[in-house]
Every structure is written in C-alpha cells, then in structure tokens.
Amino acid sequence: MPADRHKSSSKYTSDRKMPGAFEGETVTRRRMMTMIAHSSGGIAAAAFTLPALGFALGPVFKTQQQAWQIIGVPDDFNELTYVTKVFTVVAGIGEAGQTIAYMRKRNPAIDTEPHDKFNSYIALSSRCMHLGCPVRYVEAAERFICPCHGGVYNFRGQVAGGPPVRPLDRFYTYVHGGYVYIGPRYSVNSELQRFSPRDPGEPLDGLGQYLYPSRWSTPARPPLTNLPAPPPIPGT
C-alpha cells in the first residue's frame, strides 16, 4: 500500500505538469471523452434495467380494484352462529383466488364497536393473523381455531390465545334491496378500530400501526353506486 495514498494533488492540470495543459483547466479532453463514454454506457444500461425493475416492482404501487358482490340474503344469517360463505376476491385463478368469510348478523348485545351501514352483518376473514393459515369456526367452543400454530379467537374474532397479533380481519358488508353485499377486506386492532388491510403477522396496536404502514396496493372501499344487480328470479 503506497504511503501517499491520501496525498492531494492540485485540481489544475497545469499544476500537475500535464503536457498541453491550459490555464485554469481541471479536466483534460481525454478525461472528458472517458467520462462521456462511461456515462453513455451507464445510460444504455439504465435504459433496459430501470424499465425491467419498474416492471417487476409495479404491482407494489398499483392499487387493485375490488367491487361489491352479493353474498346472500338477510335470512341466511343469524346472531348466534356463523355461516360459512366462499367468495372470489381475485378473479380468473380458480380456487386460489377464493376466500372464506364467516358471517353472522350484528348482535348489539356483544358487538360493542360503533354501528354503521357497513357492519350490520359481521363478516370475519378466515385468514389467521399469525401467518395466514385458514382458521375454522368450532361451533361447540364458539372459537375460531387455526390448524397451523394453534391460534385461537373468540366469538367476535378477537385473539383468545396463541401467536396471532391482532383480531381476525373483516370484510365490509352492506344491505341493499333485500340482499347482503360483501366488499373489500379491512383490518382491525384489538379495540376493533378499522385500518386499511394489512398482511397477517403485523400488529396494529401502539407502534405497530406505524411499523406496518398501509400499502399502495390495497383497494379503498368502493363506492355504493353501481352495486351489482341481483340475479333474475326464475319464472319472472
């Protein structure tokens, strides 16, 4: 290692005794050409790297759309137990795009979170908030139980035991024209306050809501206009 590695030389080429140096010149023509050649190479490489990178990263920034869909009629649901409803959240990929909502009618005696037009029916997502396995509702225990790592939730979907970090996600529901509609997913913290949908394993209490920010890709609640029409009644 040379001893004078950090010795600074003058920035003027004339001071450095370079042949053909101009007065006040700091960059020689040869060095300028080298810099231009290198930057052209850099621009050419960026011209294919950046679009490819954007192509791969694009879905992170693109907001997915999700519409209201009919999930049933009010008579399907009661206040005492959950009804299992399977519906499609991502179209065109078969069973992999389907998800389960456990649904019941809102019961003011136990559902203490404020009532609005989007929670007259409670729709809990089957996705465990530990790592995303599907929970099942065990009628006798009135608990949701996850098969993977033993997460347990009570009747309202709040954590009753095991590793889950927050209550079960919910779906917006809306009653219109004698039908119950189901909308996009939302997440809740332990007080059942609404947050934009988060992935499992992301706590939303205290610091958690800042450590796990909302994503650009998650859909906002779609407007209540243009709800899908109910299916035609046979014989009319």
Contact residues toward another protein (CB under 8 A) are: 56-57, 59-60, 62, 64, 89-90, 92-94, 96-97, 131-134, 148, 197-202, 211-213, 215, 217-219
Q: Where are the alpha helices (DSSP H) in 91-186?
A: none
Residue 44 Cα distances to 32, 53, 236, angstroms? 18, 15, 65
Comparison of 57 and 110: residue with beta carbon closer to another protein: 57
Please report how close the Cβ of residue 218 comes to another protein at its closest, in angstroms. 5
Comparison of 132 and 228: residue with beta carbon closer to another protein: 132
Please report how close the Cβ of residue 70 comes to another protein at its closest, in angstroms. 20
Please report how close the Cβ of residue 154 comes to another protein at its closest, in angstroms. 22
Cβ count within 10 A of residue 175: 14
Measured between alpha carbons, how far is 236 from 218 in angstroms, rounded to an integer? 40
Please report how close the Cβ of residue 73 comes to another protein at its closest, in angstroms. 27
Comparison of 97 and 228: residue with beta carbon closer to another protein: 97
Comparison of 74 and 213: residue with beta carbon closer to another protein: 213
Q: Where are the alpha helices (DSSP H) in the chain?
A: 29-61, 208-211
Please report how close the Cβ of residue 99 comes to another protein at its closest, in angstroms. 8
Measured between alpha carbons, how far is 74 from 72 in angstroms, rounded to an integer? 7
Measured between alpha carbons, how far is 151 from 144 in angstroms, rounded to an integer? 8
Comparison of 66 and 173: residue with beta carbon closer to another protein: 66
CB 159, CB 190: distance < 8 Å: yes
